Amino acid sequence: MIDPFGARLRKNLDRLGPLCAGLDPHAALLEAWELPDTVDGLERFAMTVVEAVAGRVAVVKPQSAFFERHGSAGIAVLERAIGALRAEGTLVLLDVKRGDIGTTMQGYADAYLNEKSSLFVDAITVSPYLGFGSLRPTIDTALANGAGVFVLALTSNPEAPEVQQARTPDGRTVTGAMLAHLAAENAGVSPLGSVGAVVGATVGSTGEDFAVNGPLLAPGMGAQGGTAEGLREIFGTDALRNVLPSTSRELLSAGPSVEALRSTADSLNDSLATVLR
């Protein structure tokens, strides 16, 4: 049995720094790297990123959709990238945003969070908007296998407020209710809980309580407008140590040179660490 995800993440963050490197092989980036938009191009892109950052950053976050669009062969590339990253001690957070109920949600959990699966990763993203209780199979499977879950809580897309900022009967926002659920899941866990939140790096000050004793994934750094100083405004000082800022385009645009990717990752990590640690 491997150590809980939260404990492994805490160790990696303290050892390697806060950067979460996005692995988003979308068509425009393949073109920019002068690679074909094929399975071969996908594999060359993905494994170049793996070579550049494996063992150098705490977490890599592949976007599953960009592999899925190439069919079963694309999923096979994803499996190889996951295995290569984890072999170097890099945690893999698969961005899949699954959300369903009952046996269907259990199926997703078994696919990604059961250590016997070929797609087993350290954590996945999930959507709670069928009700937080619908995530129970995912959370239980994750915890039983030393894995983690990141729950969409406060995203930066313009459509989000109609759901996430709606008020519950007790007056809290839906975001606030989700954060309270996360705090309950992580209560008493040390050094860090394994059930985290996804909070956009550009949402600004919200008044929400992010002290959930769990990791806080902050996508949208760099090209999407998120900054290290902006994270301090969002999360305040108490939760900053648990923030995992994620960047994709700012890092990946440095490719296809492995050396340039490494240099960019190191620079981003250093600049984030000065603010977050």
Which tens digits make up the pLDDT trace of 244-273? 999 999 999 999 999 999 999 999 999 999
Model-wide pTM > 0.85? yes
- Single-letter amino acid code for the residue at 63: Q
What is the C-alpha to C-alpha distance for residues 196 and 123, in angstroms, rounded to an integer? 10
Which tens digits make up the pLDDT trace of 168-194? 999 999 999 999 999 999 999 999 999
- In this structure, the number of other CB atoms found within 10 A of the CB of residue 207 comes to 6
Residues in Cβ contact with 270 at an 8 Å cutoff, skipping those fewer than 6 apart: 17
From the candidates 11, 61, 97, 116, give the one annotated as an active-site residue.
Answer: 97
Cβ atoms 38, 247 nearer than 8 A: no
Predicted local distance difference test score (pLDDT) of residue 226? 87
- Give the chain's domains with CATH numbers: 5-276 (3.20.20.70)
Tokens, residue 185: 């899941």
Is 97 one of the catalytic residues? yes
Nearest-CA neighbor of 94 among 172, 42, 149? 149
- In this structure, the number of other CB atoms found within 10 A of the CB of residue 158 comes to 7
Collect the ranges in the chain with pLDDT lower than 70: none
Instruction: Tell me how far CA of residue 52 lies from CA of 5, 84, 162, 185, in angstroms.
Output: 23, 12, 40, 35
Chain centroid to Cα 97, Å, comes to 10
Predicted local distance difference test score (pLDDT) of residue 224? 80
